[in-house]
C-alpha cells in the first residue's frame, strides 16, 4: 500500500461518505413526511434536486482542500490540516442532519436563519432544550462525539500512502479541480449560481426545504444576512417613485396628508378620540394564535379571553406579519411592514432614530416601559427599546420572590402582578403611560405553575395546556386592572405576537398567521370586527383611541375610521404573501415570478388562481417598501413631534 493512493483519495472518500449521509438523511426525513411528499408528487424531484444540492455543498466544502491537496499533498503539515478539515467538515454535516427532525417538528422547515439567531442566546436555548428536548440533545451529542472520533480516525487513514504527483502534472490537475469545483458549486450555467429557489418545485415549503441539506440551508441563510439592506430585491425591482405611488394609492389617504418630501410615508394624523389622552398598554401574548381561542373557532382553551371578547372590540380577521416574537414586536410597536430580512428589532440601522410609538408618545410626555418576565437582552430587545424611546425596562432580575420561575423567566402571573403594580404607581404620579407587556409562559418547554387550571390533556407540559394557562393569566390581570386606579384612563390591546407553530403543506401556512386581537377599556363598545386587517394596523388604531394626534410614518390604518384595509401582509422565511379580503393571495419567492392563489379558509389550503397584474404590483410595492425605508433611514417622524 506504500504510496499507492491518488492524492485526491482522501477527498473522494469523504465526498462519497457525505453523499451517503445526505441521501440517507433525506430518505429518512422523506419517509417521515411521506404523505406530504406524495401529495405533491415529489419523490423524483426531491432526490434528483437533492443530489444536485448535495454536490453543490460538497464542492463548496471540499473544493479548496482538494486544490491544496493536489499542490501540497507531500507536505506533512498540509496532511494534518487536511485531516482536521475533513473531520470537522463532516462532523458539521452530520450534526446538522441529526438536529433537523427536532427543528422541523417546531418550525416545519429545515434549519435556517432561525438556527443561527438562536445560537446568539445559548443560555436560554440550552435551558429550553434541556427542559423540553433532553433526549434529542443527548442523542445528538452522543452521535456527534462518536462521529468526531470515527471521522478523525478515518481521516488519518485516508491521508496516508498518497502517491507523489509530478510538478509538471500538478498545474493541469489543479485546473481540472478548480473547474469541477466551480461548476459543481454553481450547478448552473446561468448568470447566477444555484440558490434554494431554483430547486423549489412544489407548493409545500417543507418538501421544498427537504431538497436542501441542513448545512447548506444554514450557511446560505448566514450569507443572506449581509444583504439585509436590500433584502426585498429578491422579489424583483420597481422604480422607487412607482413603488411609493402604489403604496400611497392603496392606502387611500389624501395627498395633503403626506407632509414630508424627505420621509415619504410621513403623514399628519388626527385622533378620533378628542378627550384627555389615555394610557396605552399592549399585552403581547407569546404564541397565542387563533387556534387556541374558542371564540375565534379554536380549541376551548380561552374562557377568560372569550369572556372579555364580549366586553371589547374583537378583531376576528387579523393576521400576524410573521412567525417570530421580534416580528410581532416590530408590527405592534413600530407599524413597520415585514421584509425577508430579520425584524428591525435586530438590525443595525434601526437601533436608534427608528420610529416606535414608545418614542412618539415619550415626546408627548408619556412614561414608556417594557415589562417582560425573561431577560431583556434576548432577541436584542433591550438595545432596540432603549435606543427608540423606552424609558424603563423591567425584566427577570427585577422580580423579588416570584411565584414561579421557568426556562424563559417568571410566570405570566408574576408578570401581570408586576405590570399592575407599575401602572398603579404611574397613575398615582399623574403621568400618562405607554407599556408593552410581553408574556412568555406559553413557550416550549411549556412550564407553568401547578393548580391554576384544569388541564386540557395529559401530560401537563403541552402546548395546549400552556395556552390555557396563558389565558388564565390574562384573566388574572384584568381582574386586577378593573379594580385599579388606572382602568378608566387606559386603552388595552391583547394580541398575539404570532401563532405557536407555522406548519402545513403550503408555500405559506396562512391559517397559522391568524391571531386574536382584542381592545378593551373604559368607553370601548363591544363589537366583533370582520374586516381583514394586519398587526401593523394596531398601533395607529391605539393612538387614535387614546386621543393622541400627530405625525408618523406608519402605513397601517386607523380602524376607528370608516375604512377597510382589506389586506394582510405575511412573511414566512423568504416567502411573502399579500392577501386581500376576497382571499386572493399573491405569493412572492426569491428569484421567481409572483404567483396567484386563492385561500380556501374551509380547507385551509391555497389553490392556484390567476390574479390581476395590479395586485401583483401592489404586492411587490409592499415587499420593496420596508427595505427601502430601512436602508435609507426614512422611517422616522422627523422633528415635527418634538
Helix (H) or strand (E) holding 435: strand 433-438
- Confirm whether 325 is a catalytic residue: yes
Judged by DSSP in three states, 516 sits in strand
Of 388, 354, 390, which is closest to residue 633 (Cα–Cα)?
354
Using a 10 angstrom Cβ sphere, with 0-12 exposed, 13-18 middle and 19 or more buried, the burial of residue 21 is: middle
For residue 7, what are the CA distances in angstroms to 3, 153, 571?
A: 9, 18, 48
Which residues lie below 8 Å from residue 144, measured CB to CB, with a gap of 6+?
A: 91, 94, 95, 98
Bridge partners of 597, per DSSP, are: 585, 608
What does the angle CA 505 – CA 507 – CA 512 come to, to the nearest 5 degrees?
70
For residue 333, what are the CA distances in angstroms to 229, 375, 419, 584?
A: 21, 19, 18, 28
Helix (H) or strand (E) holding 569: strand 567-572
* 498 carries a ligand binding annotation: yes
* 497 carries a ligand binding annotation: yes
Judged by DSSP in three states, 627 sits in helix
The cell numbers describing 569, all together, are 401582509
Of 427, 436, 428, which is closest to residue 393 (Cα–Cα)?
436
What's the distance, CA 45 to chain centroid? 28
What does the angle CA 431 – CA 434 – CA 438 come to, to the nearest 5 degrees?
140
Of 204, 493, 468, 528, which is closest to residue 335 (Cα–Cα)?
493
What's the distance, CA 256 to chain centroid? 36
- Rounded Cα distance, 573 and 322, in Å: 8
**Judging by DSSP bridges, how do beta strands 279-285 and 490-496 pair with one another?**
parallel
* Tally of CB atoms within 10 A around 123: 11
State the catalytic residue, choosing from 214, 325, 369, 500.
Answer: 325
Query: Hey, what's the torsion of the CAs at 185, 189, 195, 199, to 10 degrees?
Result: -110
DSSP label at 408?
T
DSSP label at 278?
P
| b (16+ CB within 10 A) / e for 469-494 | bbbbbbbbbbebbeebebbebbbbbb
| b (16+ CB within 10 A) / e for 597-629 | bbbeeeeebbeeeebeeebbbbbbbbbbbbbbb
* 377 carries a ligand binding annotation: no
- Rounded Cα distance, 559 and 546, in Å: 13
- Rounded Cα distance, 320 and 513, in Å: 5
The cell numbers describing 151, all together, are 471521522
- Rounded Cα distance, 596 and 606, in Å: 9
* Residue numbering of the annotated binding site for substrate: 443
* Residue numbering of the annotated binding site: 286, 443, 497-498
* Residue numbering of the annotated binding site for Mn(2+): 286, 497-498
Residues with a known catalytic role: 325
Amino acid at each position: 500500500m506504500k504510496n499507492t493512493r491518488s492524492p485526491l483519495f482522501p477527498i473522494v472518500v469523504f465526498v462519497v461518505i457525505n453523499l451517503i449521509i445526505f441521501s440517507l438523511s433525506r430518505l429518512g426525513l422523506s419517509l417521515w413526511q411521506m404523505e406530504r411528499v406524495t401529495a405533491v408528487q415529489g419523490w423524483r424531484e426531491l432526490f434528483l434536486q437533492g443530489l444536485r444540492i448535495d454536490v453543490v455543498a460538497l464542492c463548496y466544502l471540499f473544493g479548496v482542500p482538494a486544490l491544496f491537496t493536489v499542490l501540497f499533498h507531500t507536505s506533512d503539515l498540509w496532511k494534518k490540516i487536511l485531516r482536521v478539515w475533513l473531520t470537522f467538515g463532516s462532523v458539521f454535516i452530520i450534526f446538522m442532519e441529526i438536529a433537523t427532525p427536532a427543528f422541523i417538528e417546531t418550525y416545519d422547515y429545515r434549519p435556517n436563519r432561525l438556527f443561527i439567531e438562536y445560537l446568539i442566546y445559548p443560555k436560554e436555548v440550552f435551558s429550553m432544550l434541556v427542559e423540553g428536548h433532553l433526549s434529542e440533545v443527548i442523542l445528538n451529542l452522543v452521535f456527534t462525539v462518536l462521529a468526531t472520533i470515527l471521522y478523525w480516525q478515518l481521516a488519518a487513514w485516508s491521508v496516508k500512502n498518497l502517491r507523489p504527483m509530478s510538478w509538471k502534472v500538478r498545474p493541469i490537475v489543479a485546473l481540472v479541480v478548480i473547474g469541477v469545483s466551480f461548476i459543481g458549486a454553481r450547478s448552473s450555467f446561468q448568470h447566477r449560481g444555484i440558490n434554494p429557489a431554483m430547486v423549489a418545485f412544489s407548493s409545500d415549503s417543507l418538501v421544498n426545504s427537504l431538497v436542501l441539506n441542513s448545512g447548506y440551508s444554514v450557511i446560505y441563510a448566514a450569507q443572506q444576512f449581509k444583504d439585509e439592506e436590500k433584502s426585498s430585491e429578491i422579489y424583483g425591482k420597481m422604480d422607487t417613485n412607482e413603488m411609493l405611488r402604489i403604496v400611497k394609492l392603496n392606502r387611500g389617504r389624501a395627498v395633503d396628508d403626506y407632509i414630508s418630501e424627505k420621509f415619504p410615508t410621513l403623514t399628519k394624523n388626527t385622533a378620533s378620540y378628542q378627550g384627555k389622552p389615555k394610557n396605552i398598554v399592549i399585552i403581547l401574548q407569546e404564541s397565542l394564535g387563533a387556534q387556541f381561542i374558542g371564540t375565534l373557532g379554536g380549541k376551548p382553551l380561552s374562557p377568560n379571553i372569550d369572556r372579555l371578547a364580549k366586553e371589547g372590540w374583537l378583531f376576528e380577521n387579523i393576521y400576524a406579519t410573521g412567525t417570530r416574537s421580534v416580528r410581532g414586536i416590530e408590527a405592534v410597536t413600530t407599524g413597520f411592514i415585514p421584509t425577508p430580512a430579520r425584524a428591525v428589532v435586530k438590525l443595525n440601522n434601526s437601533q436608534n432614530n427608528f420610529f416606535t410609538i414608545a418614542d412618539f408618545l415619550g415626546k408627548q410626555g408619556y412614561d414608556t416601559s417594557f415589562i417582560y418576565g425573561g431577560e431583556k437582552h434576548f432577541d436584542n430587545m433591550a438595545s432596540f427599546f432603549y435606543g427608540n424611546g423606552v424609558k424603563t425596562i423591567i425584566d427577570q432580575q427585577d422580580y423579588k420572590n416570584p411565584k414561579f420561575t421557568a426556562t424563559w423567566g417568571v410566570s405570566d402571573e408574576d408578570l401581570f402582578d408586576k405590570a399592575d403594580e407599575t401602572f398603579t404607581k404611574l397613575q398615582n404620579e399623574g403621568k400618562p403611560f405607554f407599556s408593552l407587556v410581553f408574556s412568555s409562559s406559553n413557550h416550549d418547554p411549556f412550564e407553568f405553575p401547578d393548580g391554576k387550571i384544569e388541564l386540557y390533556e395529559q401530560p401537563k407540559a403541552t402546548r395546549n395546556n400552556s395556552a390555557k394557562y396563558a389565558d388564565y393569566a390574562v384573566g388574572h390581570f384584568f381582574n386586577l386592572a378593573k379594580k385599579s386606579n388606572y382602568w378608566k384612563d387606559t386603552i388595552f390591546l391583547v394580541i398575539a405576537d404570532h401563532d405557536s407553530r407555522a406548519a402545513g403543506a403550503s408555500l405559506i401556512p396562512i391559517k397559522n398567521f391568524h391571531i386574536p386581537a382584542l381592545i378593551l377599556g373604559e368607553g370601548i363598545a363591544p363589537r366583533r370586527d370582520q374586516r381583514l386587517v394586519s398587526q401593523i394596523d394596531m398601533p395607529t388604531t391605539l393612538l387614535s383611541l387614546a386621543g393622541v394626534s400627530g405625525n408618523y410614518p406608519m402605513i397601517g390604518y386607523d380602524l376607528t375610521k370608516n375604512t377597510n384595509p382589506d389586506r394582510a401582509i405575511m412573511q414566512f422565511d423568504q416567502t411573502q404573501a399579500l392577501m386581500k379580503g376576497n382571499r386572493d393571495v399573491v405569493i412572492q419567492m426569491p428569484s421567481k415570478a409572483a404567483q396567484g392563489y386563492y385561500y380556501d379558509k374551509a380547507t385551509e389550503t391555497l389553490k392556484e388562481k390567476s390574479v390581476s397584474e395590479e395586485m401583483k404590483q401592489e404586492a411587490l410595492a409592499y415587499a420593496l417598501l420596508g427595505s427601502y425605508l430601512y436602508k435609507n433611514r426614512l422611517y422616522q417622524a422627523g422633528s415635527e413631534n418634538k
